[in-house]
Amino acid sequence: MAGTTAQKGYAADSPKTVFAVVGPTFASMQNIRHLSKAQLTAWFEEQGHQKFRAAQVWEWLWAKQAHSFADMTNLSKELRQQLGNSFALPALVVDETQYSADGTVKSRFLTWDQHAVEGVLIPTEDRKTACVSSQIGCSLSCKFCATGYIDRKRNLTYDEIYDEVVLINQQSLRVYNQKLSNIVFMGMGEPLLNYNNVLKAIERISAEDGLGMSPRRITVSTAGVAKMIEKLGDDGVRFKLALSLHAPTDAKRHEIMPINDSNNIESLVEALNYFYKKTGNEITLEYILFDGFNDSLKDADDLIKLYRRIPADLINIIEYNPIEFAQFEKPSEERTMAFMQHLEKNRVNARLRRSRGKDIDAACGQLANK
């Protein structure tokens, strides 16, 4: 753990758990949360049970966030046993939790097949935000991001992403006595390369019979997959979109983000304009400052020109958080403020986002299951 002020320990309401059912059993049984409500109802009717039992189980699975059939206390013991014999109910568990001096909480979650993935609770005075992951590892290999140095093992399923939000919300209630107000898909992995699971997770998170959170309080961040950004527009999504830009020209972006080879800036400009035309949803540009690489006034001018071609509401200028694998450095405060002032002078809506949770490797670009 980095930093001497951070505390490390297990979450009181989600202790480190040994699974009662081993991986192969989960793999060989159908995950009950992967049934639609209609499919679940059909199963109950086929088994000779009353239809309302399906509604009870559905409520337990999503609104009440049950993580075992034993939790479903308004069902008979025999029915719970039958469900356990017929279906799997794998769920994420909290393996380890770290507490930053600034109030940030980072958790390492374990999947049913014993993969680790991280999520972060970011508290401010008026918001409690969950930063969630969409993949175990990442395939994009961005040079400044710790997750980019971890091979992608697999996509998270939509119920696993849902569990991340549930567990982080429990932490927020326990630590701050407040529910989550916002969710950002800015953790491990590229959300648009796990498109169907991310959209299904958001559907369950925002559904009235799920967590009931407004999609307007959810932001999906992408390194830039142009055709999938356009698909978001075609699918009429209601959540916000953020583009991890980090360089204002193809030449520089190519150096730090290999995805730019197949998704250059021009294709992203077209895709973002298409997305906005279809949805009218808020778009944010994310831009990490790297000392001597993309933080000059010439870089700022290039960024301004690009900003004016995209219907973006905001540019988030982000402090760089050093990682052991990369040689990048954070600019001086003087250089950072000169960059910010140049944007503001040119009427760019820009905000400097200070890092949170650096002492526990929970800040932007630092998630690496440490």
Residue 32 identity: I
Backbone angles phi, psi at 123, to 5 degrees: -95, 140
Give the largest Cα separation in the chain, rounded: 72
Backbone angles phi, psi at 311, to 5 degrees: -75, 55
**Measuring CA to CA, which residue among 262, 226, 265, 268 is closest to residue 248?**
265
| Structure tokens belonging to residue 283 | 């778009």
Burial (CB count within 10 angstroms: exposed 0-12, middle 13-18, buried 19+), residue 5: exposed
Residue of 96, 118, 160, 230 marked active site: 118
Residue of 131, 138, 142, 364 marked active site: 364
- Cα separation of 245 and 260, whole Å? 10
Is 364 a residue of the active site?
yes
Is 145 a residue of the active site?
no
**Measuring CA to CA, which residue among 124, 125, 122 is closest to residue 106?**
122
Find how far residue 228's CA is from the centre of its chain: 17
Q: If residue 342 lies in a helix (H) or strand (E), which one and from where to where?
A: helix 333-345
Contact 26, 34 (CB under 8 A): no
What is the number of H-type helices and E-type strands within the chain?
11, 15
Q: Which residues are catalytic?
A: 118, 364
